[in-house]
């Protein structure tokens, strides 16, 4: 039996979302991506970026299993935001 919701660890930057539907998952994947990107827009440090990833690892593992290429493309934004905080 699948969970009612996929939830990251409780607290700041937590994502809670319905599990992926059977069949076509494109809309679900886009929802996860949009949710992640909204949180990334709130980041004020590279530590925040890492926190988002760690807190929502179960969700991101589900995305990776559903579509590894989509996951890799989604992670590009994580890298860009993380790198934007690095000191020159």
29-65 tens-digit pLDDT: 999 999 999 999 999 999 999 999 999 999 999 999 9
Tokens representing residue 8 in the block: 């990251």
Range of the domain at 68: 24-84
Q: Give domain status of residue 1, yes or no.
A: no
Which are the contacts of 4, defined by CB distance < 8 A and separation ≥ 6?
A: 18, 19
Question: Could you tell me if residue 16 is inside a domain?
Answer: no
Question: Quick one: pLDDT band at residue 87, thresholds 50, 70, 90?
Answer: low
**Residue at 73 is within a domain:** yes
Cβ-based neighbours of 3, under 8 Å, separated by 6 or more? 19
Domain for residue 44, yes or no?
yes
Q: What is the pLDDT of residue 3?
A: 61
- End-to-end CA, the chain: 49
Confirm whether 40 is domain-assigned. Answer: yes
- Using alpha carbons, select from 47, 33, 18 the residue that is nearest to residue 77: 33
Token pair listed for 86: 């690095």
More confident site: 87 or 62: 62
**Do the domain assignments include residue 4?**
no
Residue 43, domain member (yes or no): yes
Domain presence at residue 66: yes
Total number of domains in the chain: 1
């Amino acid at each position: 039996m699948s969970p009612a919701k996929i939830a990251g660890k409780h607290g700041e930057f937590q994502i809670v979302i319905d599990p992926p539907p059977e069949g076509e998952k494109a809309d679900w994947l886009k929802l996860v991506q949009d949710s992640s990107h909204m949180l990334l827009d709130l980041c004020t440090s590279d530590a925040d970026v890492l926190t988002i990833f760690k807190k929502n690892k179960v969700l991101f593992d589900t995305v990776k299993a559903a579509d590894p290429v989509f996951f890799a493309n989604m992670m590009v934004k994580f890298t860009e935001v993380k790198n934007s905080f690095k000191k020159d």
